[in-house]
Amino acid sequence: MTPEETDIDKAEDMEPAELSVPKEISLEVLVLRLLKNYTRHKLKHQFGIEWNKEWSSQNSASRNQDPAYQAYRQRKEHVIKDLHIDFRRHRHPNEFLAFFATKVL
């Protein structure tokens, strides 16, 4: 069993009050986190490409010069495109969540 499967099993066994979800999180932020985590997971497990933590501390100009980041970003765009997400069509977070759930879950 992988660490991710173990975490999922633990989360499924917890009561809702035990789950560490901020109460003041907006739906928009939740949707963006969901998409970010999904794409990072898919990139890591399907393509073997991981987010480099050093990129977080770099400004966008220097990060964009890094060939590894460029490859990561290009593959990420393909993953999102493969979902066939039309952000113009699914503007409201509820619509996006419903659409995302039917595509991914």
**Distances from the Cα of 40 to the Cα of 17, 96, 102, angstroms:** 27, 18, 19
User: Does residue 95 form part of some domain?
Assistant: yes
User: Does residue 15 form part of some domain?
Assistant: no
Whole domain around residue 57: which residue ranges? 27-102
For the chain, the domain total comes to 1
User: Does residue 21 form part of some domain?
Assistant: no
| Burial track 60-80 (b if 16+ CB lie within 10 A, e otherwise) | eeebeeeeebeebeebbeebe
**pLDDT at 67 (0 to 100):** 92
Listed ranges 22-26, 36-40, 68-72, 95-99; the one with the highest mean pLDDT: 68-72
User: Does residue 9 form part of some domain?
Assistant: no
- pTM reported for the whole predicted model: 0.54
For the stretch 48-97, pLDDT in tens is 888 888 888 888 888 889 999 999 888 888 887 776 665 556 566 677 77
User: Does residue 80 form part of some domain?
Assistant: yes
Alpha-carbon gap, residue 15 to 64, rounded angstroms: 42
